[in-house]
């Protein structure tokens, strides 16, 4: 085409593009959030590694490792008295390798005033007890620190403190609370744990026998576990009521009640009373009675004492506690 001087060439106008059809409303919805992102993009591969920003906070969508700080300080003299497995586990707990809750609970124990007043051997026993709590249980940890810090526990001899910690390990979480209550209860001017029975033995020594001694095998066969038996005996001795057969005895002399229960739950199933008579366990008192709310210890005690009081060989009532 010939272009005359002063004339501009004509550029052909392109044809208009066809209109894009409207996108349905459903198609405009953002994609579901994936891996912490909400920008509508989907990820087909694994998330990118965490890259902290200049402020030290991980970028959005990345998981920053939790900074536990330095390990909790542990008493070296106490650690020297523990086995290698226990020491290794405590070091893991102190670093937070087994979780923040367990690390926090360990700190509660070692910082407790009652723990710090113990000697190295007793601290080792307390740490061993903590490991069996388990460490992740804030409830058991609270019961342990309450026990260690109480005046009743602090008044015990080293041997008695070891017995109390043995009982703590062998009973249930609720039983641990009742052990604390017993240590706080005062009988004749001292902790109820040191109340003495007819034979001059302490309540704590009878509890320790229940916690570590041999029990009648048929108890377990009927679902009566040691930890639950300890729990009910300690509850009844720590907080006696007004109506049950054992309440009057537990109010005045809880150690005698625990001594009797230790005998009734032993393989022999019998115990000598103050008047010289023998109290015997009734076999039909072992199975759980769903119709009543009695604990296993209440049921064993009530059945034996009722049978004793109505002994058919004499036809006379007898007083268990003259």
Say how far apart CA 211 and CA 256 lie, in whole Å. 17
Structure tokens given for 53: 């920003």
Task: Identify the H or E element spanning 307.
Answer: helix 296-309
122-127-133-136 Cα dihedral, nearest 10 degrees: 150
Say how far apart CA 185 and CA 149 lie, in whole Å. 14
> Contact, 145 vs 129, CB < 8 A?
no
Q: How confident is the model at residue 39, as a pLDDT?
A: 39
Q: Read off the pLDDT band of 245 (50, 70, 90).
A: confident
Least confident of 47-51, 104-108, 132-136: 47-51
Query: What's the rounded mean pLDDT across residues 281-290?
Result: 81
Structure tokens given for 33: 């959030």
Write down the domain spans for the chain. Answer: 191-313
Position of tokens 């939790």?
A: 66
pTM: 0.75
Task: Identify the H or E element spanning 270.
Answer: strand 270-272
């Amino acid at each position: 085409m010939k272009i005359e001087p002063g004339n501009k060439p004509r550029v052909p106008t392109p044809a208009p593009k066809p209109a894009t059809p409207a996108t349905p409303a459903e198609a405009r919805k953002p994609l579901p959030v994936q891996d912490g992102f909400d920008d509508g993009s989907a990820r087909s591969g694994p998330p990118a590694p965490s890259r902290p920003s200049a402020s030290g906070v991980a970028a959005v969508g990345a998981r920053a490792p939790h900074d536990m700080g330095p390990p909790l300080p542990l008493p070296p003299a106490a650690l020297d008295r523990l086995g290698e497995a226990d020491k290794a586990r405590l070091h893991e707990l102190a670093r937070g390798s087994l979780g923040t809750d367990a690390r926090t609970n360990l700190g509660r124990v070692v910082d407790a005033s009652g723990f710090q007043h113990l000697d190295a051997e007793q601290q080792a026993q307390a740490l061993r007890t903590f490991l069996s709590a388990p460490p992740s249980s804030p409830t058991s940890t609270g019961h342990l620190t309450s026990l260690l810090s109480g005046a009743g526990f602090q008044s015990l001899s080293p041997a008695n403190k070891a017995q109390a910690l043995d009982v703590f390990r062998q009973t249930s979480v609720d039983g641990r609370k009742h052990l604390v209550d017993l240590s706080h209860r005062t009988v004749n001017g001292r902790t109820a744990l040191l109340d003495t029975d007819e034979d001059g033995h302490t309540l704590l020594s009878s509890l320790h026998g229940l916690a570590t001694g041999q029990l009648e095998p048929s108890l377990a066969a009927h679902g009566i576990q040691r930890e639950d038996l300890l729990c009910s005996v300690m509850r009844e001795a720590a907080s006696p009521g007004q109506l049950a057969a054992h309440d009057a005895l537990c109010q005045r002399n809880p150690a005698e009640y625990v001594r009797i229960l230790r005998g009734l739950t032993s393989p022999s199933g019998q115990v000598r009373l103050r008047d010289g008579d023998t109290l015997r366990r009734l076999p039909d008192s072992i199975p759980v009675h769903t119709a009543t709310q009695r604990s296993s210890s209440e049921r064993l005690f009530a059945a034996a004492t009722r049978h004793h009081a109505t002994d058919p060989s004499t036809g006379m009532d007898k007083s268990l506690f003259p």
